[in-house]
Amino acid sequence: MKHLIILILLITQTSMTLFDFNSKCDISNWCIVDDVIMGGRSNGDFKINDTGNGLFSGDVSLENNGGFSMVQYRFDTKKVSNYSKVLIKLKGDIQIKRK
């Protein structure tokens, strides 16, 4: 599974960028959570690709009652109470490999 995450914004009359991907951005606050924490065998990876976009990829396995891989972002606390909408722009593809 691959997802290309472009930009995450909170929207009101003005906007606040939560994360803006580019070739020099720090992705150390992004982390992968896989089903291995529950005995599954899925695995994910997250990196910045050559064009500066965030790229989440991996394999999801249904073995051992597994079946998930996710990426999450831990950002510094921001005041978001004045915002009512979130805009996420992403481009993705899913490749299913069946055995």
Does residue 19 lie in a domain region? yes
Looking at the structure of the chain, the number of domains it has is 1
Task: Give pLDDT, residue 10.
Answer: 52
Domain that holds residue 40: 2-93
For 60, other C-beta atoms within 10 Å of its C-beta total 19
The answer to pTM > 0.75 is no
Distance CA 22, CA 11 (A): 21
SS3 38: helix
Distance CA 28, CA 74 (A): 9
Does residue 74 lie in a domain region? yes
Does residue 29 lie in a domain region? yes
Does residue 11 lie in a domain region? yes
Distance CA 72, CA 14 (A): 25
Does residue 68 lie in a domain region? yes
Does residue 99 lie in a domain region? no
Task: Give pLDDT, residue 3.
Answer: 45
Does residue 98 lie in a domain region? no
User: Consecutive sets of 10 residues in the chain, 99 residues long: mean pLDDT of each?
Assistant: 47 73 90 88 92 88 86 80 76 67
Structure tokens at 65: 């009652």
